[in-house]
Structure formats: structure tokens, C-alpha cells
Chains A and B, each alone.
Chain A
Amino acid sequence: MKISDLLEQTFFSLLANKARSGLTVLGIVIGIGSVIAMVSIGQGASGTITSSIESLGSNLLMVSPGMQRGVGQQVSAGRGGAQTLTLDDAEAITEQIEGVKTVAPQYSTRLQITAKGTNTNTTVYGVTDTYGEVRNVEIGSGSFITPAHNNAKSKVAVLGPTTAEDLFGEGVDPIGQTVRFSNMDFKVVGVTAAKGGSGMSNADDAIYIPLSTAQQYISGNNRVGMINIQGESQEILEQMEADITALLMTRHKITDEASIDFQIMNQADIVESASSIAGTLTILLASIAGISLLVGGIGIMNMMLTTVTERTREIGLRKAVGAKRGDIAVQFLAEAVTLTFVGGVVGTGAGGLASWAVEKFGNTATEISLASVLLAFGVSAVIGIVFGYYPAARAAKMDPITALRYE
């Protein structure tokens, strides 16, 4: 039997029962479509999380103060509450740790900011000139905080674009204007480029001032809130983390690891754990969708069994005129695979449409990967073969006389 004849017969048989074939295909369409849509939502979420973490900077270690807890005390002020890190710690890290590319200590606090009758509440960061490089903050117009600003404890400020808009309105150049907080006027010298970040910490809604200024006039001491360290490569971050822990333990005169007064976050760890959460989410969504695909496959099997029973006499006749077992089996298998294949094509389209709709109206990023489309086709073909095999084998094994006499 030729392939062209096989295809012709397959379409002929399937079109003979349009409604039934259509409904069976619908089962597969829903199954494949939901797999594609669910996986695209899961992967989109994973992509969003990863890129938002990576926008913080690359090869980043963040040292922040640990819990403030005195010897024998049970009361904890919470993580980051202690003021244990100093500028000297940052300098020691710069000098003594191998693999350090840049160190950027920072101090941050939330303050009410006013400017010409408008006001907003945002985070004020005391930073050095290296901050931009380490945390991927780029300057949009004007200049960033310079070493000279820090040396002079200048009262200058660099605004995030969102803050600039909040204070001065859209389209107004704030450079040269003044903003006021902590009872001091700060001259605006620059606006950072929009990063479009959201959630965790929004770099667009921030004010950057020299660290020395912040320590002198706002905090009143030489503590820093966090030390950002950029390593030379991803691979050495773990070693650096250990070295920094050892260094800071020595500097803080801590011998017991249980009472460490600082904590180090490795960006790679955050990315890893976030993407493992997103991965689990994707698997969860895909397996829910997979169940509907399985149900669709059972629908195929059900239809094929009905078809085989209905066409028993036809099978008998085909055998009488010389069809071999293989010819019969291939014919029914081809019908099942065609159904799932058509379902796979339409389902991929439907899934793509659904994920487009989610992205458009649900404000959730989605991502359709070639792999998930190929997987969908592979799975639908396998489903056709698996669920079509039993009915086809049943048809092939029929005894021609019994089949011909079947009423």
C-alpha cells in the first residue's frame, strides 16, 4: 500500500465522520493548547524573575548587617537591623580579598523629599562613584556621584527618573534644581537612565547622594547599610564569599560562626533559587495541562475503538481483497496519528493565542519556546501512536470471516 493511498484513505475515513473527528481533535487541541500556554506562562515568569535579579548587577555579592543581638539576649532586632558594617570593612574587602573587581558601600534610608511645592517619599542612597558600575545603574543626563563629591561631602543629589518625574513633572529637566530633605537643600546634578525595574527594589525611584554626606548629615556615624561587591567572574563568587566571611569575622572579632553579625547574599544563589521556584511552577502548570492532554488521548482511543467496531465488515472485506495485517493496522494507526497531529497543529496555534492574550490582557510575560512546540508535536504524535495502537492491533487481528459476518 502506497503512502499517498494511505493518506487519501485516512482523510476519506476521517471526513466521513466529521463531527466525531472534530470533537476528538478538540480534546487534543485543548490538551496541547493548554500545555503550550501553561509552559509559556511558566517560562515567561521564570524569565522575568531571572532578568529582574540580573538587573541588580552581575557577579554580585551583597554584605549586609546581621541581627542585632547581644550576648545572652533573646530579643532580636531583625536582619539588617544591626549597624555592624563600616566603611573600613569595605576598604579592607577591596584591599585584601582576591577577585574583587569593584566594591560599593552604601547607606540607605527612606525620607520625605520636597521640591518646589511637590513632595514624595523615596529611598535615599548614600553611595560612592563605584555604585553605578556594581549595581548596573547608568546615568541618563548630568553626572553621577563623583569621588570629589564624596571627598567634599557635597550636598548634591542624583535622581532616579521616576523620582524626578514625581518631583518636577514630566519633561522637565531637573538638573540645577534643588531638592530638600533632612532639612538640607541638595543640588540635582544628574538623572539616572530608566532601568524599568519593579518589585524588589526599584532603581528608578531613588535618590543618590554622596556616602560621606549621608554619614555626616543623615546617619551621623560611619556605618554603612550594605557593601556591594562585584567579583571578576561568576566562578569565584563562592570562594570570595568564604574569604569575606573569614575577613569580617576577624575584623569583628567573632570566633563562633553562630554569632556572625553580618550576612552575605550571593546573586547566583538568588537567581538559582528563584529559577528553581519558577521551574517548579512551570512543571506544575505543565502537568495540569498534561492531564487534559491525557484525557484527549483517551478520547482518541475511544473514538478509534468505536470506529473499528463500526467498520468491522469493512475490515473483513479489506482482508478478503488482500489487505495484510500490517495494512489494516497502519490504516487505523494513521487515522489516530492524523487526528492527534491536526490537534497538535491547531492546539499549538490555540496555545500561542492564549499566551498572547495572557501577555496582552493579563500583564504577565509569556515565552513560547521552540522546545515546547516541538515537545507538543512529539507528545501528540506519541499519543496518537500509543492510543491508536490498541484499536489498530484489534482491527489487524480480526478474523476475516467473523468480520465479514459481523452485524
Chain B
Amino acid sequence: MIECKNITKIYQTGASEAAKVLKGVSFSVDDGEFVAIIGPSGSGKSTLMHILGMLDTPTSGDYFLDGKNVAGYSDDDLAEIRKNKIGFVFQSFNLLPRATVLRNVCLPLVYAGVDKTAREDRARAALACAGLGPEYHQHRTNQLSGGQMQRVAIARALVNNPSIILADEPTGNLDTKTGEIVMETFQSLNETQGHTIILITHEPDIAEYADRIIAVRDGMIVDDRKNQNKKIGIPGVADRKQI
């Protein structure tokens, strides 16, 4: 499903200086995998995620999504692919602060041209999947706790039923307990609904929830292993309303 071949990314930082952030990364991810990309800050993992999420394009190398090389796609072509195939979860949630929970979750469907009623039905379903009860649907997102906000963000990532969910430090702004619950949610999405999940983190504990761990350092993959001691989030580990 995802195949990266020798991807490099160079940022021009000055007239003659250039930062080589990715130095030839190659790997592939199959349908339904739960992959954690782990690395310290500055390792290039965020850049890698942006390229995987088509928010950015590689300087060289090829990126195949569902067998198609996306090199040379225009901004609008990339937006089209993001809309249909990729859901994002960000560290800082990136919710519209004044809008209601439901409205935030509906946002991707607005661009997909889905009718308002269908949109809200799907948003409610996605929120249920992400574990946020109907009592919050009309809340403004700036009235929610961090964990609740991240659930809204997860629901938003799910709502257009993308094949891939890209999560960039989804637990970075959450306390440990809440972070565990969010990770458990990802696991259940992966197991029960078959979404491919790619998780970016710098915390080994969080990476342990994935099936496969890719370690990145200085712009190169230094390790790519199956996670032998996968942490299993206990279903119903906490009353979700408490988070």
C-alpha cells in the first residue's frame, strides 16, 4: 500500500547551506499494519510523516501509494488524495476552537461534498468509534479537556473512512493515563476496523503499542523490527467520560 524508495528531503536553509533531513529512506507498509516511527527530535521523523501524508513532497526518491507514484502531482491532486485516503491526528489537535465538536468532525466531509445530514450521521458514528459520547457533540472544542480534544481529532481523521491514519505525536500533549487511553483507541481502530495506522513518536513506551517499530535517526532508518512485546491496551481500561 505504501512504498518509499530512497526518499531524500533537503531544505534550503540559506543561499549556500542546505539541511539534508532525509538521506535515502526506503520501506513499505502493508494494508492494516500498525507502525510506529520512532526517533529523537531532529531525526527527520516528522518530515517523513509529512511526505507520507502528502503534505510535503520528497526532494528525490519515489513514493508509491496503492502502487501509484505520486511524484509530480500538483497541490490539488495531493489534496484530493489526502481527502480520500489519509486521516491526520496532530499533536496539537488543530481543532477549530469556536466550532462545535460535530462541526469539527464534519470538516473533511464538507470538502468531500457530502450532504449535511449524511455528514452528521457519519460524524456521530466516527465520534462513537473514537469514544466520545453524544453529550459532547454540541460542545465547543475549546471547552473540552486535552484527551477529549484528541478524541475529536481522531474522529475527524476517521470520518471519511481513510485507509491510512497518520498520527503525529498524538499523545505529546496528554498526560500518561490519557495517552494510554488514546493509544488503546488506535489499537482498537486498527484491529476492529482494519485502518492502517502510522504513528510518529519519540516515546518508546508509546511505540510499544504498535505491531512494528521503525527507528529513525539522522535522516536514516536505523532499525525496522516487529514489536515482540506489544503492549495491549485493556479494553474499557477507563471510563472514557473521565478523561
Contacts and interface: CB of A to CB of B under 8 A. Distances in A.
Contacts of B107: 317-318, 321
A232 interface: no
A404 B76 contact: no
A220 B56 CA distance: 104
Interface stretch (A196-204, A299-307, A323-331, A364-372): A323-331
B76 A325 contact: yes
Interface residues of A, number: 24
Given A314-B96, A327-B111, A322 B80 contact: yes
B55 A400 contact: yes
A322 B76 contact: no
Contacts of A318: 107, 111
Looking at chain B, what size class is its interface with the partner chain?
Answer: 20 to 34
Given A316-B94, A322-B84, A5 B110 contact: yes
B5 interface: no
B105 to A, nearest CB: 11
A326 B74 CA distance: 13
Contact of A326 (B55, B76, B98, B99): B76
A123 to B, nearest CB: 75
Contacts of B128: none
Interface string B65-93: 00000000001100110111000101000
A258 interface: no
A322 B112 contact: yes
Q: Is the interface of A mostly helix, strand, loop or mixed?
A: helix
Nearest to B99: A12
Interface in B140-165: 156, 160
Contacts of B179: none
Given A16-B98, A327-B111, A321 B156 contact: yes
A277 interface: no
B50 A323 contact: no
B88 to A, nearest CB: 5
30 contacts: A1-B113, A2-B110, A2-B113, A5-B110, A16-B98, A313-B94, A314-B96, A317-B94, A317-B107, A318-B111, A320-B53, A321-B83, A321-B88, A321-B107, A322-B82, A322-B83, A322-B108, A322-B111, A322-B160, A323-B79, A324-B75, A324-B76, A324-B79, A325-B75, A325-B76, A326-B76, A400-B55, A401-B50, A404-B55, A404-B94
Given A1-B113, A319-B55, 6 more contacts: A1-B110, A16-B98, A314-B96, A319-B82, A321-B108, A322-B84
